[in-house]
Each structure stands twice: as structure tokens, then as C-alpha cells.
Amino acid sequence: MLTISQYVWLIVSKDSIVLEFLKKDLLNLTSYAKAILPQIEQQTLTKVSPGSIVVSLSRIKNKIELQENTKPKFIINDISLKLPISELVLQKNHNPNPDLSKIYKELQNLDSIHFNVVNVDDELDIFVSTSQIDLVKKHMNFFKIILQEDNLSALTIKYNPEFRNYPGMGSQILNALALNSITFVECLTTYSEFIIYIKQDRASKAMEVLKEGFMV
């Protein structure tokens, strides 16, 4: 059987916002303990005092602080923004893989055009500058369009590739955005770049949050 602290951790670890508030001393431990008390009692099948949950939360906080002190903070070397971006999700079941080289060839001589592809077994997810969405559709006309989403922006974050060797680097960025109520549509990573797709109306705020939190 798990301890009270372990049950508390199972709940807290699933909520990145609570974890971030706990780390920054912004979480009212007593109020939160009372909020999750029914879940703890349901899982333990025993009567649990709010005080024991508060103690568990304090221990979790101390453990997180110890881990954070030994983990390097993610540093952004540069950040850029492109918009407007459109997302096109295509179903490719029972269809041949597309010849994406034709699209690349037509786009290669155009300035400031964004184009990224996520190619999985059943779907093709394409992020492209909205001005070129018709070009993509022309070449992909034998695939069924599942979704088209416009009014997106692409945040491209450049970082030192050495950060790839440390766990939790991406979560630092996404947690910072989540704490500021900025949701993302998709994120992609390369050897030295982290690309986040978000709604255009949150792009400026996202830039401010990331520059303030991760640029030196």
C-alpha cells in the first residue's frame, strides 16, 4: 500500500500548474489539501487529516527544490516569430506517401516562408505560411483533409544543443506558457531549435514570457 505522500504525489504530478505554483510558494497548501482530501480518502479507504496532506505537500516541494537546484535552467539564445501560419491535417490511410519534394521545390525560392511536416502512419500534419496553403492543397489533393486551422503563429526558439542531454528542458518552456494561460497547438524539436505553434492572439504574450524567463 502506498503512503499518504505517495498518493498526494500521484495527484500533484498530473497537474503542471499546481506543481509550478507549489515550487513558487504560490499554492495555498491548506486549501489545496482540503480540495484533494476526498480523492486521498477514496484511494486510501481511510480517514485522512488535511494536516498530513499539507506535510506531504511540503515534502514534495522540498524534493522539487532539491531537484531544480541540480538541474540547469534552460537558456534561449534567440527567438523569432512567423505568422500567419495554417495547419493542415490530412488522412493518408491506404494512400501512397506524398512526394513532398514537389512542395519544397516550389517554396525554396520564396522568402520568409514557413513549412514543416509531421509524417506519421495515418496522418500528415503540415504547418505552412497561410499564403501558401493553396499550394499545399494542390499537391495533396489525393488526401482527405481532416482539419484546417488558420490564425496560428510559429515561435522558433534557438538553444545550445547541449541542453538535449538534460531532462525537463522542454517542460520548463511549456510550463511557463501554461502558467500564463497560453496553450499550444503543436511543438516540434530539432537539433538546436524548439518550434511552438500557438494562436496568433497569444503570440506577443508568449514572446514576452519566454524572453523574460529564458533569455540572458
pLDDT of residue 200: 94
pLDDT of residue 67: 65
pLDDT of residue 172: 82
pLDDT of residue 64: 77
* d(C-alpha 47, C-alpha 41), whole Å: 6
pLDDT of residue 127: 95
Q: Tell me the whole-structure pTM to 2 decimals.
A: 0.66
pLDDT of residue 199: 94
* d(C-alpha 177, C-alpha 191), whole Å: 22
Could you say which residues of the chain have pLDDT below 70? 1, 67-72, 93-98
Q: What distances in angstroms separate CA 168 from CA 68, 99, 124, 176, one per listed residue? A: 10, 35, 27, 12
Half-sphere exposure of 209 (CA within 13 A, CB side): 18
Q: For 57-99, what is each residue's pLDDT tens digit?
A: 998 888 877 766 555 677 889 999 999 999 999 987 665 666 7
The three-class DSSP label of residue 27 is: coil
